Amino acid sequence: MERNVTLIGLFAALIVALGFVPAIPLGFGVPITLQSLGVMLAGAVLGSWRGALAVLLVQALVAIGLPVLAGGRGGLGIFVGPTAGFLIGWLPAAFVTGLIVERLRRVPVALAAGIGATLGGIIIMYALGILGFWLVKNAGLKPEDAPISLWAATAIMAPFIPGDLVKVVVTGLVARTIAQYRPSALLARG
Amino acid sequence: MLSLALPCRSWAHRLPAALKFGLLAVAMIALMRIGSLAGQGAAVLVVAALTASLGRKAIRQSLVTLRPLVWIVAVILIWDSLQGAVAQGVLFGLRVLAMVGLANAVTLTTPLPEIVALIERLAQPLARFGISPRIPAISVALVIRFVPVLRARHDTLAEAWRARSARKPRGKLLAPLTFSLLDDADHMADALRARGGLALPRKGRDTVGT
């Protein structure tokens, strides 16, 4: 019990701390922050439930108004802004990453973590992020207005995907290093 | 790490936290439904007036939180103008301003202890499932305490790297950082257990003789 609480708390702290690493501008001017890397790592290392709870803790800190997101952002405003879906999507992102590492036991850790992070941290997170953006964008339109299509919303968010693919690779490598040097620490496979 | 709440006492600080959160939820539903430029424009003016009534610091803080949204609103405006629907882009910009601005106003006027008290009250039913209602508050404290520790640890690792290599560490510090974090979690768990742990007092054993 105590160990679960401290593990969840410390991984939540890691996700927050990664927000202080300055945003890395990608080639075409899109900044990427490392916080979603922390989310993928929490899932890959802690497993589905603990990983998701670590993310839930960070989300709770955002909601109660602590500046824990990259760039010192926080507060309830994030949950109603156009990027709310991405923040909410962290939860299934960590859960699915952990679930895949737990289930694909015969697959090498790096690959399992990579598959999990791609499925959870990119596909599901972007699906929710794009859906959230689409909802905020089209809310309250009159019937004669043409709403923005989900494809258009996807096209607007697409420039961020390469950065997240880099994070998927890093997640796989870190998970492999942990499995190599201290297999017992990779709780998702414990 | 400080909360985003303003330390001063405005009229909005005196309202109960639960009431503010309730009002905010209602306002969000209303803002999602308003589809006219005039309506959203009026909403933005109301939110701006509300923020202004909280003082100059509130205005500055609110603008800081809104700044990261500028680029996404700009992208949408360009997108919608290309589609020949500038009004839609403007509507989106106004809604984002009104919604995020209003939510910020709640955050700015609700001090952290009040929110923690609200969380503890909401967490009370956890006891019925055998989970200590202290866990949410302890978890929040853990994170706030460990963020600076992790940052310091990262700086130490980065220094050690620089002493040994001319190349940049890139992601290579993440694994050692995670190892140290897992150790910390074990130590913290031992410390918590040594101080009585987080389990609920068991009926029948601890209540004997009372």
Contact B40, B88 (CB under 8 A): no
Q: What CATH fold (topology level) applies to the domain A2-189?
A: Arp2/3 complex 21 kDa subunit ARPC3 (1.10.1760)
Q: Sort A143 into a burial class: Cβ within 10 Å, 0-12 / 13-18 / 19+.
A: exposed
Task: For residue range B186-203, list pLDDT tens digits in order.
Answer: 999 999 889 887 776 655
Task: For residue range A33-68, list pLDDT tens digits in order.
Answer: 789 999 999 999 999 999 999 999 999 988 877 778
Q: Sort B171 into a burial class: Cβ within 10 Å, 0-12 / 13-18 / 19+.
A: middle
pLDDT computed for residue A10 by the predictor: 94
Residue B116 contacts A where some CB pair is shorter than 8 Å: yes
HEC-encoded secondary structure of chain A: CHHHHHHHHHHHHHHHHHCCCCCEECCCCCEECCHHHHHHHHHHHHCHHHHHHHHHHHHHHHHCCCCCEHHHECCCHHHHCCCHHHHHHHHHHHHHHHHHHHHCCCCCHHHHHHHHHHHHHHHHHHHHHHHHHHHHHHCCCCCCCCCCCHHHHHHHHHHHHHHHHHHHHHHHHHHHHHHHHCHHHCHHHC
Q: Which of A3, A6, A24, A181 to mutate to test the interface with B (most CBs of B within 10 A)?
A: A6
Contact A44, A116 (CB under 8 A): yes
Instruction: Please state the domain extents for chain B.
Output: 17-110, 119-195
CB-nearest partner of A9 from B72, B139, B179: B139
pLDDT computed for residue B107 by the predictor: 83
Q: Which residues make beta-bridge pairs with A73?
A: A69
CB-nearest partner of A75 from B65, B119, B135: B65
For the cut 90, the answer to whether the pLDDT of residue A89 exceeds it is yes
Note whether B175 contacts A41, CB cutoff 8 Å.
no
Residue A91 φ/ψ region, left for φ over 0, alpha for ψ in the -120 to 50 degree band, beta for the rest: alpha
Task: For residue range B88-118, list pLDDT tens digits in order.
Answer: 888 888 888 888 888 888 888 888 778 778 7
Q: Which of B28, B143, B202 to mutate to test the interface with A (most CBs of A within 10 A)?
A: B143
Contact B153, B177 (CB under 8 A): yes
CB hemisphere CA count around A187 (13 angstroms)? 20
Note whether B178 contacts A14, CB cutoff 8 Å.
yes
| Closest Cα in chain A, distance from residue B185 (Å) | 5
ipTM of the complex: 0.84
| Closest Cα in chain A, distance from residue B91 (Å) | 9
Q: Which amino acid is at A54?
A: A
Residue B63 contacts A where some CB pair is shorter than 8 Å: no
Residue A41 contacts B where some CB pair is shorter than 8 Å: yes
Instruction: Please state the domain extents for chain A.
Output: 2-189
Q: Measured between alpha carbons, how far is B29 from B16 in angstroms, rounded to an integer?
A: 21
Q: Measured between alpha carbons, how far is A123 from B86 in angstroms, rounded to an integer?
A: 31
